[in-house]
Structure 1
Amino acid sequence: MRRKKILVAPLNWGLGHAARCIPLIKALEEEGFEPVLASDGNALLLLEKEFPHLSSFELPSYNVEYSTSGSSLKWKMMWDSPKILKAIKAEKKLTKKLVEEYNLSGIISDNRFGVRYKHLKNVFITHQLNVLSGSTTYFSSKIHQKYIKKFDECWIPDAPGNKNLSGILGHLAKKEESIKYMGPLSRFKKQDVPLKYKYLILLSGPEPQRSILEKLLLEKFKDTSEKILMIRGLLSGQCKPAAPKNIHVENYKFGQELEEIINSSEVIISRSGYTSVMDFAKLEKKAFFIPTPGQFEQEYLAERLANLGIAPFCRQDKFELSHLEELKKHKGLKDIGGSSHLRELFALF
């Protein structure tokens, strides 16, 4: 009997979308499906490293870049919207070609609006039913929800009740029938291992903000004696920056090796992206968050976790080592549990 081929296509916006698709792809294989992978840039490279045995295809890039000033990020995104719409149109055309050439049976798109085909069952994955954008939140949320309705179902990687990770991002006042909650997704498992690093710095996200934070943290930690590992989030072979002897720098780690590194680190310093929040909750780690300037979603998640007494944060331009003392007042992230019910969701195909 032919294995049904399911296209899995995460957005290339940092590595979070691709990373959270890893457990989903593994679950598809376990349930007898044959995943077909599609993305671009570092997101595609990550999936190809994790699943070298699966077919993969390059999609048009949205070319998402941040501004150097957080306050102007929203307006830059609006300015870039024509090229994003052009990419959506192009990926829709390419999706049709992939469906016909590879006899696909279903589509799972993680935040790629053009990856759908009218004669198949189409799933959209997002943790943002509400898209926070400051004074334009109402409009950005309505536009996003309108696009989501073009898909048969919307899967949210979170729990449906009050005990959840995404807060107002992933929960509407009135839930629609097409919205399904998967439970939090993480590619990692908690391990009881000896601690090796005091701080693990995990960098991610589009430029130039990734590089700005890297430079800032190397400067701030240069006179410390704590054992630190910095993972830059770069999948290609860029030259590593000069670093103090107590800071070991790697461009990227993935798979089981990355899982072991996070488990063996006392504190994680990272952006407050939602995939990171899910991963650190699964591994029950203490974290200090530095939201990407101007990214309302990350700022909301960081502030929410701080208000709940779970993890402290501060603005990038205000960061000082003294802020890490706030970790003593916060309990750290915990696994909220909840089965993902992926087998039941896959019944759609």
Structure 2
Amino acid sequence: MVGSQPLLRLPTSEELPCSDETPVDNELQNLIPNLLLTILASIWRERQDWFFGVDMGVYYLYEEERQPVVTPDGFLSVGVARRSSDRGRLSYVLWEENDIPPVLAIEIVSKHYNDEYSDKKEKYAKLGVKYYLIYNPNYWQRDKHQPFELYRLKQGKYILQTTEPYWIPEIGLSIGRSKVDHLGWQREWLLWYDREDNAYPIPEEVIKQLRQRAEQEYQRAQQQQQLAEQEYQRAEQQQQLAEQERQRAEQQQQLAEQERQRAEQQQQLAEQERQRAEQQQQLAEQERQRAQQQQQLAEQERQRAQQQQQLAERAAKALQEQQQQTVTQLFSLGLTIEQIATACNLTPNQVKQLKIED
């Protein structure tokens, strides 16, 4: 295990070599760790308490003695500053990192075997790396190992784990393998996974998702614009319909006002007609009364005439009777018809008639 810092002065990261200066013998030793770093930077973009090193020297003490540098192809530490300075880390020096060892170290086996299964395993155990992953995609049969072997440190010894993807509770992620197309290279890559073993997307997938999301957003924006245009047109149509309705309502109101005025005029005319009819009725009544009065007067006049006629008839009868008596007396005195006619102011015929009636 890593020992505590002795009193003696230790070199700084500025004074130490950046790595063991052993060049990688294939590009996967850089591409795979850098892919893990890129994905992790997306997953933990809000966190500032982690560091992922690629082909960087790690310096540590063991039993109070500085050990030779170890240079994993990739390693992850948590609980340390994301950035140590504007310049960034030149190497990972435990006595500058509060003696926090990496939680995970990754070695990618190359064409030339570099003691990943032996010497490096012992060094990482001394360093206190809790999880050690050896990825051997091309030479596992040569080395008589599996392509993916993850070890967990327990009581100073590494124990091979059998699950994949393997859940690392200290970081809340799993690590495993999947075949994806990265950098135009369709092959198996190491990836991070969530608790349900869903792989986190690689940059190309993120870009594709962002492009799809942007396209969907653009289409949604286009649809929204079309909907807004349709809504604007509907609103304009509604406004036109409302204006037409207002004009119709105004026309209806004008027609209603005209109808009311006509009705009022009709009512006035009807009232005038009623008054005229009433006047006519009154005049007719007056005429009837006048006619009745005229009839009464005529009846009275008839009755008076009848009375006058009766009086005249009685007078004529009395006169006739008187004339008859006079004629009779005169005849008895021996007067002639002519004499009697002259005496009574009658004609001879009238005298004769009176004599006959007598």
Q: What is the TM-score with the length of structure 2 in the denominator?
A: 0.25
Larger gyration radius, structure 1 or structure 2 = 2
Q: What is the TM-score with the length of structure 1 in the denominator?
A: 0.26
Larger relative contact order (CA 8 Å, sep ≥ 6): 1
Q: Which has the higher helix share?
A: 2
